Chains A and B, each alone.
Chain A
Amino acid sequence: MTDILKKEMNLSASVLSYLFIAFGFMFFIPGYPILCGVFFVTLGIFQSFQNAREANDIVFSALLPIAKRDVVKGKFLFSCFIELCSFVLMAVAVMLRMTVFSEAAVYRDNALMNANLFALGMALLIFGLFNVIFIGGFFKTAYKFGKPFVLYIIAAFLTIGIGEALHHFPGLEMLNAFGFEHIVLQLGSFGTGALCYVIMTLFSYRRACEHFEMIDL
């Protein structure tokens, strides 16, 4: 497992994938749709897929003494690694905004969604969408990534829009909780996002393995 991840990180990855991890810090920006930071992180991962295709990485990997499903596993491991690195930055930002900055006027007077545990759950949901729609779509051919990426963009921005708008609907205001307000709801929404991420990623990985096994390279 570590060998294929090492290959992904040293040979296949674009440096942008690593740099774009820093977009996780967008959770600090006031008056900005913070979930766009999640999209930018996935845009960085997309650059690695582009890089890999130009370098004939998939065929190279398939020729290594590993099972074909390990080629798929490498891509998922790398993507999850980048996603979780940026998630850590987002989580740090959320923790600080829930504690030290919970009363900061610049965050309180904000029409857009607050960076709380619900936002972290939404971030994981968007990462899950990337893993299902883009990575899963890519492995239907192991070559074409334009259509899966466009579909992912649509799904991601719809999700961002819904996430940003939900707390404006009557009865859903508590989704924009500050600090530790409505903590059970916050934890519940975060847990749901995390569960969605795990289920979507595992589902996509299995489907991608099945598809990749059938492809002629």
Chain B
Amino acid sequence: MSIVTVRDLVKEYPAFRLNSVSFSLEAGRISGFIGRNGAGKTTTIKSMLNLVHPDSGEIYFFDKPLSEYETEIKKRIGYSTGTVNWYPRKKIRDIAEVVKCFYDTWDEEAYRRYLAMFRLDEDKTPLELSEGMKVKCNLLLALSHKAEILILDEPTSGLDPFSRDELLELFIELKKTGVAIFFSTHIISDIEKCADDIIYISGGKIIAAMPKADFANRFSINGENLEQTFLRLERGVQND
């Protein structure tokens, strides 16, 4: 069952066009959103969070249009970015104290559990954290309110290989509980490790949105791994 549907999303910038982007996400599946820098991943994700206004197109969460049910929908989703740093001089404890007020589904036990799992010190400020720990801090907030879908913009960037592995294992655990995970990345091994579905965007267009196995059957040739397939496709796309 689709819990997110993105249909014919168009956003035009002077030097870039998000061109009729469509895909859907299902509960209990991990979808890897892959594309090179500037392909349109962040614009798509920002549109899904109503931070960017598409010129046309529709976005539905849980069969409800985002434009009409924004508040209700945002309570049921979790978002994290690997690059942005919120309130760098505030303690994690203080940030969490405020965030929890906005979610009636806030799970203090889950918050404590992830805090321990990520080895985060509540008395530290984001400014005192490494890039990887900042990602974990953002994830901590996203995971602590029982989100039914996690939208994660490059969650593994900046993480060391062990933390990355831990995080991907966590994704697999979460999907078993029915949570849908949609994460953008340009690290193809992340997709190989845990994604069920691949959504591949290039030059603002969705090239493929399908299960990983179908993607390999359709696009990979002569025993290529996913990385080789993407590199070849990207070169081909660029040469078109």
B85 contacts across to A, CB distance below 8 A: 56
Is B87 an interface residue when CB atoms closer than 8 A count as contact? yes
Interface stretch of the complex, out of B21-29, B48-56, B198-206, B230-238: B48-56
Assess the A64–B51 pair: CB atoms within 8 A.
Answer: no
Interchain CB contact under 8 A, A65 and B75: yes
Assess the B101–A56 pair: CB atoms within 8 A: no
In angstroms, how far is the closest chain A Cβ from the Cβ of B55?
Answer: 11
Q: Taking the complex as formed, is A100 at the interface, i.e. its CB lies under 8 A from any CB of chain B? A: no
A59 touches B84 (CB 8 A): yes
Closest chain A residue to B70 by CB distance? A67
Q: In the complex, A214→B53 CA distance in Å?
A: 7
Asked whether B170 is an interface residue with its Cβ less than 8 Å from the other chain, the reply is no
Interface membership of A29, Cβ < 8 A: no
> Quick check: B94 and A11 within 8 Å, CB to CB?
yes
B75 contacts A11, CB within 8 Å?
no
Q: Is the CB of A7 within 8 A of B98?
A: yes
Residues of chain A within 8 A (CB-CB) of B95 are 11
Report the Cα distance A60→B102, complex, angstroms. Answer: 12
Q: B214 → chain A, closest Cβ, in Å?
A: 33
Q: Is A162 an interface residue (CB 8 A)?
A: no
Using known A-B contacts A57-B87, A63-B79, determine if residue A68 contacts B74 with beta carbons closer than 8 Å: no
Q: A57 to chain B: which residues have CB within 8 Å?
A: 86-87
Complex Cα–Cα for A64 and B95 (A): 12
CB distance from B46 to the nearest CB of A (A): 7
Residues of B within 8 A of A216 (CB): 46, 51-53
Chain A-chain B contacts (Cβ-Cβ < 8 Å), number: 63
Docked Cα-Cα span, A54 to B126, in Å, equals: 13
Known: A63-B79, A216-B51. A10 touches B74 (CB 8 A): no
Query: Nearest A residue to B13 by beta-carbon distance?
Result: A216
Q: Given that A10-B97, A65-B74, A67-B70 are contacting pairs, would A56 and B84 also be in contact in the complex, using a CB cutoff of 8 Å?
A: yes
Name, among B53, B86, B89, the residue most crowded by chain A CB atoms within 10 Å (CB to CB): B86
B90: CB under 8 A from chain A? yes
Q: What residues of chain A lie closer than 8 Å to B118, measured between beta carbons?
A: none
Q: Is the CB of A65 within 8 A of B102?
A: yes
With a cutoff of 8 Å between Cβ atoms, the chain A residues found around residue B50 in the complex are 62, 68
Residues of A within 8 A of B52 (CB): 216-217
Residues of B within 8 A of A65 (CB): 71-72, 74-75, 102-103
Select one of A3, A10, A67 contacting B102, CB under 8 A. Answer: A3
Closest chain A residue to B54, Cβ basis: A216
A64 and B97 contacting across the interface, CB-CB below 8 Å: no
* Interface residue? A55 (CB, 8 A): yes
**Are A60 and B71 neighbours in the complex by a CB distance under 8 Å?**
no
A64 to B51, CA, bound (A): 11
A66 at the interface (CB under 8 A from B): yes
Check: A108 CB closer than 8 A to any chain B CB.
no
Residue of B nearest to A217 (CB): B51
Report if A168 contacts B (CB, 8 A).
Answer: no
- Out of B70, B74, B79, B90, name the residue touching A11 (CB < 8 Å): B90
The 9 closest A-B pairs by CB, nearest first: A65-B74, A65-B75, A217-B51, A55-B87, A3-B101, A216-B52, A60-B86, A7-B98, A64-B102
Q: Which residues of B contact A (CB under 8 A)?
A: 46, 49-53, 70-72, 74-75, 79, 84-90, 94-95, 97-99, 101-103
Known contacts A55-B86, A56-B84, A63-B49; 5 additional CB pairs below 8 A are A7-B102, A63-B51, A64-B74, A65-B72, A216-B51
